[in-house]
């Protein structure tokens, strides 16, 4: 039995190394991408097509994190929330509000230096992100509180209501002075080195690093003792309770951690757009994450990343091909995907991998048999 376990461990190790290898190659491709693109097209790093595609990838990186955080809730925790955009938008608005209304007077009057180096910007940015963290935790707790007593459709409806309430709050004309109501907050002052128009390459690498860190953290989480209990919540809440876990506790952990990832993604999105708009808080944003997760495969973090990439590419090309009506075409495609790949791209692939392998091996065997038969005939 010990041998058997060792063998399983070895197998796991090999397969995980294979997986990491593919990801590593992808990572190198993504790191080299801007340079290669610039070389091929002959455009500078911060102009033309090269700049445009960096932008597309930045959106992809951020959406991938948002989708993964949604997957953490839905795919792993079995929690169907229609208000997840509240965390994303909450992060975006917290960042934008602070940067626009709170930070300028401070940086105007105070200066923090180490020796002769001015670190005011850096310190301010760190503090702002800490506030984003705090707000995300609070939003996560708020949603977790609704899940204490409600289940299924009722719970989903309440999350939709909560999300809509947040949406209305940022659109409220009462706060026009601060939030810009319907138009949102524009022209958020971002430090020059992090400005997506002036220094897009920096934003590109910051977003890429953000995606990788979030992926690694979430991957760790879903394989941790806590993460496994969160998965058990998806599988069978009653049984989970009966073996000694309080489902509310673990749902709260899922909500808060998903909210933190989404909140940071939102803040980064606000840097990328130098704005925060009501769309970022709307149900459309949540549905985007839902579609991405289903496309890639629920309960697989890699699926959420792949889904986000596909969405980004599709929305880009479909827009040029079909114009403003592209979602109509995409809807049909989405229905087809759900019909033929019910577990998403990665999910279905993982399920069928074994069958496909057998199929090919059978094919190989038949070909080999035929070859030997032919040889025998010739002889």
Binding site for other proteins (CB under 8 A): 1, 5, 8-9, 217, 220-221, 223-229, 231-232, 235-236, 238-246, 253, 257
CB closer to other proteins, 89 vs 263 = 263
CA distance 185 to 202: 23
Rounded to a whole number of angstroms, the minimum distance from the CB of residue 45 to other proteins is 36
CA distance 89 to 97: 12
CA-wise closest residue to 34 among 203, 230, 277: 203
Rounded to a whole number of angstroms, the minimum distance from the CB of residue 217 to other proteins is 7
Rounded to a whole number of angstroms, the minimum distance from the CB of residue 69 to other proteins is 15
Return the residue matching tokens 């925060």.
Answer: 276
Rounded to a whole number of angstroms, the minimum distance from the CB of residue 254 to other proteins is 11
Task: Determine contact, residues 342/348, Cβ cutoff 8 Å.
Answer: yes
CB closer to other proteins, 6 vs 47 = 6
CB closer to other proteins, 78 vs 278 = 78
Task: Determine contact, residues 272/207, Cβ cutoff 8 Å.
Answer: yes
Task: Determine contact, residues 280/103, Cβ cutoff 8 Å.
Answer: no
Return the residue matching tokens 């952990």.
Answer: 253
**Which H or E run includes 114?**
strand 113-114
Dihedral Cα 40, 43, 45, 51, nearest 10 deg: -100
Rounded to a whole number of angstroms, the minimum distance from the CB of residue 9 to other proteins is 8
CB closer to other proteins, 352 vs 370 = 352
Q: Six-digit token pair at 239?
A: 């049984």
CB closer to other proteins, 240 vs 280 = 240
Rounded to a whole number of angstroms, the minimum distance from the CB of residue 162 to other proteins is 25
Q: Six-digit token pair at 369?
A: 């048999």
Q: Six-digit token pair at 367?
A: 């070909």
Return the residue matching tokens 């899922």.
Answer: 254
CB closer to other proteins, 22 vs 224 = 224
């Amino acid at each position: 039995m010990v041998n058997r376990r060792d063998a399983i461990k070895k197998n796991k190790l090999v397969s995980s190394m294979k997986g990491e290898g593919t990801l590593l190659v992808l990572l190198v491709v993504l790191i080299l991408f801007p340079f290669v693109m610039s070389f091929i097209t002959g455009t500078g790093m911060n102009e033309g097509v090269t700049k445009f595609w960096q932008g597309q990838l930045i959106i992809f990186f951020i959406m991938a994190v948002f989708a993964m955080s949604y997957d953490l809730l839905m795919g792993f925790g079995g929690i169907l929330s229609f208000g997840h955009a509240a965390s994303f938008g909450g992060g975006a608005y917290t960042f934008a509000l602070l940067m626009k209304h709170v930070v300028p007077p401070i940086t105007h009057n105070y200066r923090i230096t180490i020796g002769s180096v001015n670190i005011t910007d850096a310190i301010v940015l760190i503090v702002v992100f800490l506030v984003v963290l705090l707000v995300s935790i609070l939003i996560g707790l708020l949603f977790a509180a609704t899940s204490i007593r409600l289940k299924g459709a009722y719970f989903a409806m309440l999350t939709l209501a909560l999300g809509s309430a947040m949406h209305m709050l940022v659109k409220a004309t009462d706060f026009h002075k601060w939030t810009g109501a319907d138009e949102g907050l524009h022209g958020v002052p971002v430090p020059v080195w992090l400005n997506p128009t002036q220094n897009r390459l920096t934003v590109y690498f910051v977003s890429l690093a953000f995606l990788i860190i979030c992926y690694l953290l979430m991957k760790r989480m879903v394989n941790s003792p806590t993460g496994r209990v969160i998965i058990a919540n998806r599988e069978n809440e009653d049984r989970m309770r009966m073996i000694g876990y309080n489902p509310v506790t673990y749902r709260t952990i899922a909500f808060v951690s998903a909210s933190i990832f989404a909140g940071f993604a939102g803040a980064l999105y606000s840097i990328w757009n130098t704005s925060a708009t009501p769309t970022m808080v709307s149900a459309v944003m949540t549905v985007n994450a839902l579609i991405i997760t289903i496309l890639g495969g629920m309960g697989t973090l890699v699926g959420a990343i792949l889904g986000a990439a596909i969405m980004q590419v599709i929305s880009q090309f479909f827009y040029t091909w079909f114009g403003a009506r592209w979602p109509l075409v995409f809807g049909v495609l989405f229905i087809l995907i759900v019909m033929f790949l019910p577990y998403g791209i990665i999910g279905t692939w993982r399920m069928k991998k074994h069958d496909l392998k057998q199929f090919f091996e059978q094919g190989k065997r038949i070909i080999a048999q035929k070859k030997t038969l032919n040889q025998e005939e010739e002889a």
